[in-house]
Copies of this chain bind each other. A is one copy, B any other.
Amino acid sequence: MIIVIKKEHEQKQLDNLVKWVKAQGVEIDTSIGSNSTVLGLIGDTSKIDIDLLRSLDIVEDVKRIQEPYKCANRKFHPDDTIVDVSGHKFGGNHFQIIAGPCSVESEKQIIYVAEKVKAAGATVLRGGAFKPRTSPYSFQGLRENGLKLLLKAKEETGMPIVTEIMSVRHIDLFKDVDIIQVGARDMQNFELLKEVGKLNKPVLLKRGLANTVEEWLMSAEYIMSEGCKDIILCERGIRTFEPYTRNTLDLSAIPLLKELTHLPVIVDPSHASGIARLVHPLSLAAVGAGAHGLMIEVHNDPPHALCDGAQSIRPEQFEDLVKNIDVMLPIVGKERDKS
């Protein structure tokens, strides 16, 4: 960490600062230039509050040299973490496809979709039971009931399941869920992160709508600091000024994350754009960018249904997509896990 001191400062203030910093167990290397004095902090600075320093009268700027995350940092854990979900491996050269409907709607629907996506190559079943909705007047998911139907589908098909938790109050309901999803809006729900970190279960952590890669890794750090090692990061689009797509999928984050962290990272192309027609090209793009997997919404398609062209793609479109992915995977050195 580098602390730039203002040109005009009282020596006493500087002495106080130096004393305080040293009391945090960090050494200081001072360098005096013509326009500013620079303190270089050497040692473990992860516990030093950068905002506090920045707010001091005599401080002009503070710059971090080391990343503030440790458990999630590839520097300290050079090998890829492999998250094992009932034998399906996330990370390294494994490629996994999670698929399923946006919301669990009925037993018939979830089992129908589960069988379809399993046959086409998905290894983990997704399905929303608790649904975060902008409006209190929108459908909030089948909640407890949705969870039960999802577990039924797990039993029927043998697929492990992933579904979103929205409150610490619901934790007991998730004991048979294989991967606990923390949604974008809860990425910085720190109390939830801490409790989820204690469950000894894989966690799928989505990136917040307006969160930096560093903040995302700090949220992974929250979970990991409670003992959980099995985190799957999931990029799902960030908020920008562009109105055509609901969010802007940040695929640069994929190769970047692979440098910064040892955790697997997958992509959700369905939520990012909010446009079903974009799921196919964005899935291929995610594979090209080096993702360890995809999480795709696939919808049942009974004739005469309203939502025939919904944000979710149909099972036969999903099948086509998986075939294209299979051709691409060798280029990026990955192999798709077969169920």
Contacts and interface: CB of A to CB of B under 8 A. Distances in A.
B40 A31 contact: yes
Given A250-B242, A252-B248, A286 B284 contact: no
A38 B40 contact: yes
Contact of A55 (B243, B287, B290, B309): B309
Interface string A107-138: 00000000000000000000000101111111
A168 B166 contact: no
B259 A277 contact: yes
Given A56-B306, A249-B251, A311-B55, A138 B47 contact: yes
Given A210-B241, A282-B252, A134 B188 contact: yes
Contacts of A212: 241-244
Interface stretch (A155-163, A172-180, A324-332): A324-332
Q: Give the number of copies in the complex.
A: 4
A57 B317 CA distance: 14
Interface stretch (A82-90, A93-101, A146-154, A213-221): A213-221
B240 A245 contact: no
Nearest to A219: B134
Chain A contact patch, size range = 35 or more
B218 A244 contact: no
Given A61-B65, A210-B241, A212-B243, A288 B281 contact: yes
Interface of A: 2, 4, 7, 13, 16-17, 20, 29, 31, 33-36, 38, 40, 42-43, 46-47, 49, 51-52, 54-58, 61, 63, 65-66, 68, 75, 130, 132-140, 166-169, 185-186, 188-192, 194, 209-210, 212-215, 218, 221-222, 225, 237-246, 248-256, 259, 272-278, 281-290, 304, 306-312, 324, 327-328, 330-332
Pairs A-B, 7 closest by C-beta atoms = A57-B309, A210-B210, A284-B288, A167-B191, A285-B288, A55-B311, A285-B289
